[in-house]
């Protein structure tokens, strides 16, 4: 009985008059942590979860005692913080490498993406990032439990760190609803926990998405700029007249055009690609047509590569095939040769005046606003003055051409429709040809087909980066003849289509530079070699940019999944880097209670609260999860020596705890 009473006396805490911070405490002999060889390294190995090999090596060399010694709960040591930050620096470095590969568009090429091997590497990276995020989450929970009180439901986040199910558990929602958290603390805890746990679940897939290269990524093997000793305006004139002998009679070529692709977008705009039916049969024509509310063609834009681009691409492809070594035959088959130079494009907007009886004739600008042109009667008389007429299914007159009052570079064409079944009506079209600097390309595997880009309709209508072409129609017999109407199909079609008119113009203009393959030798003689860019005078030289591009495995794709993965990796890097900066700057770091076992041991040596109820089997009350808990220092007598010693306890925030006079954990002290 005497010994029992003495034992109870030894475990008595400080008197109830003592409080958490302002208490007169006896001077205690606080032991520092055990001074063992390489203790910091062993603490770091514990942080990495490598205690087993450390213990085996320590036992073999008698480095450590089998007893549990005092340990530091919170370090205030920058070197220790820097050592613990290595857990984060490895995955951060890997993330930076992935981001550099993405932003630099690193091209790997090769016949395989090594996806199987990289998936294992990505899994290892995922585990490292998850360990880093869990360590950050534990630091937040540990700091709040040591410096104040947190809801019991928040403390369980330390053991459920990797589990997304914690976000919809009773623990999490009870913690948010607890009165132990102020509004600011609730928002901070909810956002930090939500963000870290969600990142824990998505960093793995994001790493794999960014780590495995994608097929079909471009790589520029050769890039060069060459110049022709002829001015840009001479090679690609800004004005044409009858002396240039443009061929507008291309009915046979249009008829022989082979369709390659056709589709409509969500707003009904039609897009078509065809292989232009000229003698070369290698140039693709691209058409974009906007339909009117009556589902009739309203506005079209058409482009065709120039003959010059076609011949030069063919020549350069032959040269490239000769200079590449025989071992690169397979790589050559994957090469696309691109030339960037001026290409013709024509925009046409048409409208129909249904009857010439008491009707005004108007035309549409490219922004689709109407402008008055003339009365129908005056226009009809003006067209009647022409000497040529054609009588078939009605009386047909030659088209009337005139410059646009708003834009001298644009032409207005007026066509009289005169069918016996429908009567007389007018069609007016605004025709605007341009030069624009575009990419034209040919692939080694494309059977010599030349492709080009199609500019966006809104860019052409606003003339962004386009050089207008003026065409004087006087003296050009082909387009001032009734026969031209027959060629474009107007004599049989119910309505003139803007794409046909645009095609006739753009095909005629595209033939001028390098008019035929016979001209290529003369053109090649005008190319300059060994000239510096500083010596080039833009007014006297024509610039051509050549690029030989290979396609293979690489990084830098812009798929939605990749963009989301980049956002996830950047978010992780920001959080982890800020955390590393914080712990190194303050020196505050800890590896205490980073497992469920250590929390259990802390609870086992804590005093049992009297008002918990039946919690031996589990918890199901939100009120229990809402209760505040913290980690505090209590002072007791040692059973064997009788000396006062400090130990840590997991305690609830209640009146009984306040009466015990517990204190906060001191950084750097061992317990």
3-state secondary structure of 402: strand
Q: What is the arithmetic mean of pLDDT over 353-376?
A: 80
Q: Which pLDDT belongs to residue 481?
A: 80
Q: Is the overall model pTM greater than 0.85, yes or no? A: no
Q: Is residue 493 scored above 60 in pLDDT?
A: no
pLDDT tens digits, 283-295: 888 899 888 777 6
More confident residue, 318 or 333: 318
Q: Is 108 helix (H, G, I), strand (E, B) or coil?
A: coil
Query: pLDDT tens digits, residue range 211-256?
Result: 999 888 888 888 888 887 778 888 899 999 988 888 887 777 877 8
Residue 632 corresponds to which tokens in the numbers above? 């505090």
Q: Look at residue 98 in the predicted model and tell me its pLDDT.
A: 94
1-15 average pLDDT score? 41
The structure tokens listed for 437 are 């600097």
**Distance, CA of 199 to CA of 305 (rounded, Å):** 49
Q: Per the structure block, which two tokens stand in for 507? A: 């095909």
pLDDT band at 516 (very low <50, low <70, confident <90, very high): very low
Pair 446, 215: CB distance under 8 Å: no
**Tokens 């410059």 correspond to what residue?**
403
Highest average pLDDT, of 58-62, 315-319, 348-352, 416-420, comes from 348-352
Which of these, 187, 13, 10, lies nearest to 634 by C-alpha position? 13
Separation of alpha carbons 442 and 449, rounded Å: 6
Residues 201-211 have pLDDT tens digits of 889 899 999 99
Cβ 412 vs Cβ 363: under 8 Å = yes
Q: What is the pLDDT of residue 21?
A: 39
Q: What percent of the chain has pLDDT over 70?
A: 76
Closest CA to 388 of 374, 402, 399, 377: 399
Q: Give the whole-angstrom CA distance, residue 505 versus residue 471.
A: 10
What is the C-alpha separation between 310 and 441, in angstroms, rounded? 9
β 423-443/411-419 pair status = antiparallel
Q: H helices then E strands: how many in the chain?
A: 22, 24
Average pLDDT of the residues in 599-618: 78
Helix-helix angle 170-177:183-211, to 10 degrees: 140
Q: Alpha-carbon distance 446 to 449, whole Å?
A: 6
Residues near 278 by beta carbon (within 8 Å), at least 6 away in sequence? 250, 253, 507
Predicted local confidence at residue 18, as pLDDT: 38
Q: Tell me the pLDDT tens digit for each residue of 536-577.
A: 676 778 888 888 888 888 898 888 999 999 999 999 999 999
Asked whether the predicted pLDDT for residue 326 surpasses 60, the reply is no
Main-chain dihedrals φ then ψ at residue 516, nearest 5 degrees: -150, 165
pLDDT band at 55 (very low <50, low <70, confident <90, very high): low
- pLDDT in the model for residue 517: 44
């Amino acid at each position: 009985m005497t010994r029992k009473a003495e034992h109870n006396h030894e475990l008595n805490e400080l008197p109830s008059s003592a409080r958490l911070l302002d208490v007169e405490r006896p001077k205690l002999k606080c032991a520092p942590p055990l001074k063992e060889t390489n203790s910091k390294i062993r603490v770091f190995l514990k942080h990495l979860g490598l205690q087993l090999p450390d213990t085996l090596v320590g036992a073999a060399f008698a480095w450590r005692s089998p007893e549990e010694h005092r340990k530091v709960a919170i370090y205030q040591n920058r070197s220790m913080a820097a050592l613990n930050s290595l857990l984060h620096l490895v995955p951060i470095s890997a993330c930076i490498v992935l981001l550099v590969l993405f932003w630099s568009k690193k091209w790997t090429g090769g016949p395989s993406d090594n996806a199987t091997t990289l998936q294992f590497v990505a899994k290892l990276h995922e585990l490292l990032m998850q360990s880093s995020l869990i360590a950050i989450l534990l630091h937040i929970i540990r700091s709040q439990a040591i410096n104040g009180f947190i809801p019991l439901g928040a403390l369980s986040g330390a053991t459920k760190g990797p589990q997304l199910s914690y976000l919809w558990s009773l623990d999490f929602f009870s913690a948010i609803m607890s009165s132990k958290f102020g509004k600011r603390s609730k928002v901070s805890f909810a956002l930090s926990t939500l963000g870290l746990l969600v990142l824990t679940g998505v960093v793995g897939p994001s790493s794999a998405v960014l780590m495995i290269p994608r097929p079909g990524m471009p790589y520029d093997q050769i890039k060069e700029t060459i110049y022709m000793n002829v001015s840009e305006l001479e090679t690609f004139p800004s004005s044409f007249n009858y002396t240039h002998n443009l061929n507008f009679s291309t009915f046979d070529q249009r008829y022989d055009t082979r369709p390659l692709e056709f589709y409509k977008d969500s707003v009904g705009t039609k897009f078509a690609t065809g292989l232009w039916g000229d003698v070369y049969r290698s140039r693709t024509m691209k058409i974009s047509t906007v339909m009117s509310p009556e589902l009739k063609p309203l506005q079209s834009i058409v482009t065709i590569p120039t003959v010059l681009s076609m011949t030069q691409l063919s020549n350069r492809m032959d040269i490239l095939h000769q200079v590449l070594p025989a071992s690169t035959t397979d790589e050559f088959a994957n090469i696309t040769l691109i030339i960037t130079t001026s290409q013709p494009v024509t925009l046409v907007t048409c409208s129909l005046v249904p009857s010439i009886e008491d009707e005004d004739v108007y035309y549409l600008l490219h922004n689709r606003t109407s402008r008055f042109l003339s009365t129908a009667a005056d226009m009809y008389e003006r067209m009647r003055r022409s000497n040529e007429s054609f009588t078939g299914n009605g009386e047909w007159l030659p088209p009337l051409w005139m410059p646009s009052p708003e834009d001298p570079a644009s032409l207005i064409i007026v066509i009289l429709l005169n069918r016996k079944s429908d009567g007389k009506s007018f069609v007016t079209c605004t025709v605007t040809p341009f030069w624009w600097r575009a990419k034209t390309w040919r692939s080694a595997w494309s059977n010599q087909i030349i492709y080009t880009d199609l500019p966006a309709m809104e860019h052409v209508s606003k003339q962004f980066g386009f050089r207008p072409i003026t065409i004087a129609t006087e003296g050009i017999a082909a387009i001032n003849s009734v026969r031209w109407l027959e060629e474009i199909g107007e004599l049989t079609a119910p309505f003139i289509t803007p794409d046909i008119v645009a095609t006739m113009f753009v095909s005629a203009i595209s033939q001028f530079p390098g008019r035929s393959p016979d001209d290529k030798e003369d053109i090649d003689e005008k190319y300059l070699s060994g000239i510096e860019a500083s010596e080039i005078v833009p007014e006297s030289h024509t610039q051509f940019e050549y690029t030989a591009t290979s396609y293979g495995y690489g990084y830098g794709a812009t798929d939605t999944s990749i963009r989301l993965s980049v956002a996830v990796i950047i978010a992780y890097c920001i959080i982890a880097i800020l955390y590393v900066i914080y712990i190194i700057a303050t020196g505050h770091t800890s590896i205490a209670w980073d497992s469920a076992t250590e929390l259990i041991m802390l609870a086992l040596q804590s005093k049992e609260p009297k008002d918990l109820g039946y919690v031996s089997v589990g918890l199901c009350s939100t009120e229990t999860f809402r209760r505040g808990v913290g980690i505090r220092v209590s002072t007791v007598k040692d059973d064997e020596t009788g000396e006062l010693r400090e130990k840590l306890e997991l305690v609830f925030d209640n009146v009984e705890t306040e009466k015990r006079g517990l204190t906060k954990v001191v950084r750097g002290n061992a317990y």
